[in-house]
Amino acid sequence: MPQNTDNHAFYLTQIHQLKELQKLDDQIYEVQQILEKAPDELRDLQDKLTKAEVQRDRINDKISHLKESESRISREREENSERLKKSKSKLMNTGNEKEFSAVTREIDNLEKMTQPREDELLAVRDELRNQNDSLNELNEQYIDLKTQVEARKATLDEQLKSAKDRLAEERDESSRSIPKPIFQRYEFIRQRLQHPVIVPLENYICPSCHIAIPPQDFNEMLRGEHIMSCPNCQRLIVWRDDFLADDPEALAAAKAKEMENTEGEDGSSEAE
C-alpha cells in the first residue's frame, strides 16, 4: 500500500496523463499504419482496374469478331436465299426433263446449305448476347473500381494528413501537462520500442517482454510513489490498480475477475 498519500495522488495524476498521451499516440500510430498501407491498397485497386480493362478489351474483341461473323453469315444467307428464288423461278421455265432434273438438284443443294447457315447464325447471335451481358456486368465493376481509385487518390492523402496534424496538435497540448523528466523517458521509450510505452502489471511479470521484475523493484512499484521502468524492456510499469484508478468500473471488473480466478484455484486445490 502507498505510504505517502500526497505522493501517491501525484503519482496517479502522472499515470492518467501518460495514459491520455498514449491514447493519442495509439491513434497517431493507426494513422501511420494507414499511410503505410494506403499505397498498397491503391495499387491493389489500380491492378484490379487494369485487369478489368484487359478483360473489357478481350470481350470487345470477341464482340467485334462475332459481329463480323454475323454480318458475313447474314450476307451469305441472303445470297443463298436469292439464288434459291432464282432457281425456283428457273424451274418453272424448264423446257425438258434433263434441265428440270439439273435445276431440281441445284435447289436441293441450296436448301441443304440453308439450314446450317441458320443454325450457325443462331449460335453466333446467342454467343453475342452472352458476351454483351458479360461486358455490361464488367462495365459496372469497372466503373465502380474507377470511382474507388479516383476517390482514394483524391481524398486519402488529404484526410490522413488532416488527421495526423490534428492528433499531433492534441498530443502537443497533452504532453505539456506531464513533468518534463517523465515525458522525456516516455519519448525515449516510444521512439525505440513498439506500443505500448506504459503497461499495467497484475503480478511480477512484465506483460510486454514477459520477464520477471526483481522483487525489490516490484515492491518499490507497489509503493505507488514514482513511475518505474521494467529493468529488461525499459517500458514504464505501474501496478494494475494504479493504472485503472481513473476507471473505477474497469478496476472493479479486474478485481472481480481476480477473485474468480482465486476461488477457482482454491476449488481445484481442495479437489486434489
pLDDT digits over 19-70, tens only? 989 988 888 887 777 766 766 767 777 788 888 888 888 989 999 999 998 8
Do the Cβ atoms of 138 and 63 come closer than 8 Å?
Answer: no
pLDDT > 90? residue 142: no
Q: What is the 3-state secondary structure (H, E, C) of the chain?
A: CCCCHHHHHHHHHHHHHHHHHHHHHHHHHHHHHHHHHHHHHHHHHHHHHHHHHHHHHHHHHHHHHHHHHHHHHHHHHHHHHHHHHHHHHHHCCCCCHHHHHHHHHHHHHHHHHHHHHHHHHHHHHHHHHHHHHHHHHHHHHHHHHHHHHHHHHHHHHHHHHHHHHHHHHHHHHHHCCCCHHHHHHHHHHHCCCCCCCEEEECCCECCCCCCECCHHHHHHHHHCCCCEECCCCCCEEEEHHHHCCCCHHHHHHHHHHHHHHHHHHHHHHHHC
pLDDT of the residue at 2 = 46
pLDDT digits over 163-176, tens only? 778 888 888 888 88
pLDDT of the residue at 207 = 93
Question: Mean pLDDT of all residues in the chain?
Answer: 82
Q: In angstroms, what CA-CA distances link 160 with 29, 153, 164, 218, 252?
A: 12, 12, 6, 41, 37
Q: In angstroms, what CA-CA distances link 233 with 119, 197, 213, 239?
A: 79, 10, 11, 16
In this prediction, residue 81 has a pLDDT band, given cuts at 50, 70 and 90, of confident
pLDDT > 50? residue 143: yes
Between residues 206 and 77, the one the model is more confident about: 206
Cell numbers describing residue 218: 516490484
pLDDT of the residue at 125 = 87
pLDDT digits over 184-215, tens only? 999 999 888 877 899 999 999 999 999 999 99
pLDDT > 80? residue 131: yes
pLDDT > 60? residue 272: no
Sheet containing strand 228-229, edge to edge, reads 198-201, 236-239, 228-229
pTM of the model: 0.52
Average pLDDT over residues 148-158: 72
Cell numbers describing residue 83: 439464288
The CA-based angle 221-226-230, given to 5 degrees, is: 50
Q: By C-alpha distance, which of 2, 1, 63 is closest to 225?
A: 2
